[in-house]
Amino acid sequence: MAARQLRWILSIELLAYLFWGNWLFAHAGWTPGQVALLVAGFFFGGRLLFILTTFAVSLPASDTPPAALRLGPLGALRLVLGEYIALCVLFTVVQPFERFWLGPDRLAHCGARPLPLLLIHGYQCNRGFWFWLRRKLEAAGWTVATHSLEPVYADIDSYADGIARRIDEVLAATGAARVILVGHSMGGLASRAYLRRHGTARVARLVTLGSPHRGTLLARLGMGPNARQMRLGSAWIGALAAPLPPASVSIYSCHDNYVFPQQSCSTLDGAATVAIGGVSHLGMALSPRVLGALLEALEPSLDYQ
């Protein structure tokens, strides 16, 4: 499970800091305050360095955003800060303990909308990615289900049957005839892998957020077959021909630091394309701007019968 893996990583990191801090305290004469400052610097500074590296790698290969979505210095600072906060919150606090933060999906009491949503997370994440957006979508009247893609490093096609089982569970619990799939990043590709194998009979619409529909350059640095499949121009990406339900939408950020070149990577044939600005890749999980775009994408009239 992704949550267990993240807990192991955090535990190993913590033990390393404790061992190092104890050595500095016992043998180098450091005070507890000095040790704590150094550990905090490595913990938070290392994560900031990682974020800055993703932006440094993405900038030379980024598409030029439309004039209306370009950022000034303050907007760029907010972009980086939003990604940094999202990384720390998602991978340190929420996703390692997703059962605590989310609890079971609330499917027995349906919202005001006719169809439930099924949220599918991206690479190296779990259902905890949706802890903020799930609450906001429920407040807007939607019945919301989540699903964790497992194992973490697997062929994307292998996720299709797990999604099919989760759809069956959601439809049985809600009494609905179909679901709307919402996928972030690799979750959009996993949703399309499901559609290729099982068709559109149980899916009314697909909405993707920051999904690399044509691959991404950053996938060259990832691990596992799913990362290789997401490489720009991969054979798997080229062969991913899946039927799409009506009114499907691909939402992407012109400033995505994981999926780039942004516009060319995010285009999905047969779906409407919606560009937003000032939002990073992980920052989508906590972004009111993404929430607004998502709610708008879910609104077009559609025959739900």
pLDDT digits (tens, 9 = 90+) for 124-183: 999 999 999 999 999 999 999 999 999 999 999 999 999 999 999 999 999 999 999 999
Picking from 133, 131, 165, the residue whose alpha carbon sits closest to that of residue 149 is 165
Distances (CA, A) of 175 to 73, 129, 302: 49, 26, 18
CA 262 – CA 1 distance, rounded (Å): 30
pLDDT of residue 25: 80
Region of 224 on the Ramachandran plot (φ > 0 left; ψ -120 to 50 alpha; else beta): left
Whether residue 96 has a cis bond before it, omega within 30° of 0: no
What domains, with CATH codes, occur in the chain?
2-62+71-97 (no CATH), 110-297 (3.40.50.1820)
pLDDT of residue 111 exceeding 70, the answer is no
Please answer whether residues 301 and 94 qualify as being in contact, where contact means their C-beta atoms are separated by less than 8 angstroms. Answer: no
DSSP per residue over 162-214, as a string?
HHHHHHHHHHHHH--S-EEEEEETHHHHHHHHHHHHH-STTEEEEEEES--TT
Cβ–Cβ contacts within 10 Å for residue 291, how many? 16
Q: Is the pLDDT of residue 40 over 70?
A: yes
| Three-state secondary structure call for residue 239 | helix
Average pLDDT over residues 63-72: 94
Dihedral Cα 194, 200, 201, 202, nearest 10 deg: 60
Name the strand (E) or helix (H) holding 253: strand 249-253
Whether the Cβ atoms of residue 276 and residue 253 lie closer than 8 Å to each other:
yes
pLDDT band at 109 (very low <50, low <70, confident <90, very high): low
Band the pLDDT of 27: cuts 50, 70, 90.
confident
pLDDT digits (tens, 9 = 90+) for 77-99: 999 999 999 999 999 999 999 99
Collapsed DSSP state (helix, strand, coil) of residue 145: strand
Task: Give 252-305 pLDDT, tens digit per residue.
Answer: 999 999 999 999 999 999 999 999 999 999 999 999 999 999 999 998 664 443
User: pLDDT by residue (tens digit) across 222-235?
Assistant: 999 999 999 999 99
| Residue 121 · residue 127 · CB < 8 Å | yes
Closest CA to 271 of 245, 296, 290: 245
* Predicted TM-score (pTM) above 0.75: yes
Q: Is 248 helix (H, G, I), strand (E, B) or coil?
A: coil
